[in-house]
Chains A and B, each alone.
Chain A
Amino acid sequence: MLFNSGVFLKFFAGFLLLYWLVRSNLRARNILIVSASYLFYGWWDYRFLGLILFSSVLDYFVGLGIARQTDARRRKLWLALSIAANLGILGFFKYFNFFSTSLAALLQKLDIPFHTSTLRIILPVGISFYTFQAMSYTIDVYRGAIPVCRNLVNFLAFVSFFPQLVAGPIERASHLLPQFERTLTINRAMLEEGAWLILWGMFKKVVIADNLDALVSMVYGNNAYSGPAVALATIAFGFQIYCDFSGYSDIARGLARVLGFDIMVNFNLPYFASSIREFWQRWHISLSTWLRDYLYISFGGNRRGAARTYLNLFITMLLGGLWHGAAWNFVLWGAWHGVGLIAHRAFTTRTTPGPGIGRIFGWLMTMLFVFYGWLLFRAQSFDQIVNMTRSFSEWSRPVWIGSYVTNLVVFVIPLLAVELWQFRSRNSLVPLSLSRWALATWQGLLLLAIIVYWERVEVPFIYFQF
């Protein structure tokens, strides 16, 4: 069930009604949330439900097991069970075919006979998100960072909460789980904030990202490239993936807000970052902090000297790239950012350059780095990466370049205008400070634009595949 679909609108309207009916009973509310979340998730394929249920129940009992044990070795065994099961599920459903075909290709090159077979595995939507979310719970319980959850319904609701189930943010139990255990208040400010987030997120997805999708496919689906076309298409993709993913996160946060919940901020104006380190503090924050807390720090972080720090950074980013998908270009993208972070750390201890020209130069270099990274991310093969990179030396203009630039400008300018306003005011909710009718006019125009572009084939969110 996509947020940008008619069926979701009906689903959510029905849910709001039932949510109102169960307002006096916390247990009924959480049962309703679990039921609705499973309906939401099963809408894609009911067979996915078994997997999320298994993963959730396992982690729930692992949490209880860890809490019950005082023996350090046994606690570790419980944790190992959770990690092995979660990574096993993820590895099988997401990476089995990738690794088996990659291994076969490698052995074939070495002239070693090897028989492999690929399985017809359906990749469950959002598996990487909820697996990481559930795993973080057991690790936090093991570390003693959070108390164990002793209510299965609450835990199921935490893992499957439908606003953020399939594309994040990857919530932490310390933040979200307690919200299922207490009475929530929904006030006018929360409604305003929720409505704004839903509207702005939907605008970013339906109007900006889906229109840019056609521009990106026009070039990335081709076999012949020219420098300007590749450059423009890569810029378009940078904005498409940002609007698609941050749009989803905004809608998720908005829906949760309307229900009285608070979900973490996942994007904080990443294209205003003036260093690669700052970019990762602003982009997909729930994943980057997850990788930091559960991988980078577990590897030793920066506690074992410079060389080990760089290695830890590189491995973390490599795995972060692989998290995005079972393909080598994602690994390459992770490695690209790993190298960028290492270079940044090697040359400066500051997260961002100082003000003035240094900051502008830093921003420019960061954007060049990040957007070339998007080429690695979007390309479908190594050959395409090589050919597209080579095309930068061939600067002929396609006949449609005027139309391309017009579209890019028309769809990106509203985003940049709003984000510049948010950046300068250091307040992501600054549009809500407009006067009543100015805000209404603006929201009305956003709504109209969404309606204009709503009536076409629903384009799934890019991050669903991860």
Chain B
Amino acid sequence: MRSHTYDFSPHDLLRLLGPALAVVAIGAALLHAGTWLNAVPSPRPALDVDRTIVIHKVEASGSRSDAKVLLVGDSSCLMNAVAVRLGEAIGEPVLNLGTLSYLDLSAHAKLLQRFNAANTNQLKEVVLLLHPEALRRPAAEAYHTAAFEHFIAGKDHVTKRNASYWLGLEFLRGRILSRVLPTALPGAYGRRYGFTYDLEAHLRRERGSAVDPDPKTFQGNPEYRLATQLEAQSRAFKAAVPPGVKLLVGITPVPAGFAPSDYAERHRRMLLQWSQWLGSDGTLADLPATLPDDLFAKTTHLNERGAMEYTALLARSLSSH
């Protein structure tokens, strides 16, 4: 017995699928043409937590600002130092340009240079803060560094020419969707901040500082040391500091219960060595190497209460320099 019969022609099939596929192809062509002719908005792919933070920092560093003190560094700088509170305590406007741990000193230097170019002869102090975890990392992650460079250059972050590229999806997402529709943030970030737009609003309101909303058990290797590559990177960073601007350097704390027993001494030696490489104008040696565990969200970030306490300590330390 016959199973089934096909009562249509290949032409019918083509008439069914062809027009819809043609519309997709036309849409892709329009996106490519619009991008090529600069007829669509410039890239701004703030579509998740990481990209929203980095894009905010890139834009904040290139904008006019009243900041006299600039905080730069990794995510421990972003999450541990409360810029508004710090500014109130030291009596100078502060901007936090702390980014994320997968960027390195050269990225921080670029942000500093952009800020100085947009706000010439305004800066008094640059405070560089890194977590010891970042000090032993030999190099930044290539993907994220490339993304950062693309954001600064105002280019689409296209790493490979796959189907997604040819369909124009990166242009659609990064140039149009991200500008018209806030993206919901996942997990704890969603519960704390809501959407990409709201995270950006928070960063603007808090002059670049954020709170880590995602507590995790402490993990990692507490055998901290300075990576040898850090020496060259530090010298390059120093070169980016404008003349007459004081460079102060500090290492952000680790949980007391996580740090090795001799960590306070190691922290002191690392800070001294790193400060020498940087040729800094001062070390924030009076900042604690460790803080109680209950002030941390995770090994690298303080929680909201911890950030407040650390900011008070940071203000006292900065006032003494």
A186 touches B7 (CB 8 A): yes
Task: Classify chain A's interface size.
Answer: 35 or more
Residue of B6, B187, B202 with highest tally of chain A CB at under 10 A: B6
CB distance from A158 to the nearest CB of B (A): 16
CB distance from A28 to the nearest CB of B (A): 7
> Does A303 count as interface, using CB distance less than 8 angstroms?
no
Summarize A's interface: helix, strand, loop or mixed.
helix
Known contacts: A400-B198, A407-B182, A444-B21. The answer to whether A218 contacts B4 by CB under 8 A is no
> Does B194 count as interface, using CB distance less than 8 angstroms?
yes
B7 touches A403 (CB 8 A): no
Q: Bound state CA distance, A1 and B202, in angstroms?
A: 41
Specify which chain B residues have a CB less than 8 angstroms from the CB of A410 in the assembled complex: 181
Count, chain B residues at interface, CB 8 A: 42
Specify which chain A residues have a CB less than 8 angstroms from the CB of B13 in the assembled complex: 191
Specify which chain B residues have a CB less than 8 angstroms from the CB of A80 in the assembled complex: none
> Does B191 count as interface, using CB distance less than 8 angstroms?
yes
> Does A455 count as interface, using CB distance less than 8 angstroms?
yes
Residue of A nearest to B186 (CB): A214
A23 touches B12 (CB 8 A): no
Summarize B's interface: helix, strand, loop or mixed.
helix
Within 8 A of B (CB), among A253-281: 259-260
Within 8 A of A (CB), among B203-243: none
> Does B164 count as interface, using CB distance less than 8 angstroms?
yes
Specify which chain A residues have a CB less than 8 angstroms from the CB of B21 in the assembled complex: 444, 447
> Does B248 count as interface, using CB distance less than 8 angstroms?
no
Partner of B172, one of A183, A221, A452: A452
Partner of B16, one of A186, A191, A400, A437: A191
Q: Bound state CA distance, A27 and B21, in angstroms?
A: 35
> Does B169 count as interface, using CB distance less than 8 angstroms?
yes
A440 touches B22 (CB 8 A): yes
Known contacts: A24-B2, A183-B2, A455-B169. The answer to whether A444 contacts B194 by CB under 8 A is no
Lowest 7 A-B CB distances belong to which pairs? A444-B23, A400-B194, A440-B19, A214-B184, A403-B195, A29-B3, A403-B182
Q: Write 23 A-B pairs (CB below 8 A) sorted by A numbering.
A: A26-B1, A183-B1, A183-B2, A183-B3, A183-B5, A186-B4, A191-B12, A195-B16, A221-B191, A222-B191, A399-B201, A400-B194, A403-B182, A403-B194, A403-B195, A436-B15, A436-B19, A439-B19, A440-B20, A444-B19, A444-B20, A444-B23, A452-B173
Q: Which residues of A contact B (CB under 8 A)?
A: 19-20, 22-29, 183-188, 191-192, 195, 199, 211, 214-215, 217-218, 221-222, 259-260, 398-400, 402-404, 406-407, 410, 436-437, 439-441, 443-445, 447-448, 451-452, 455
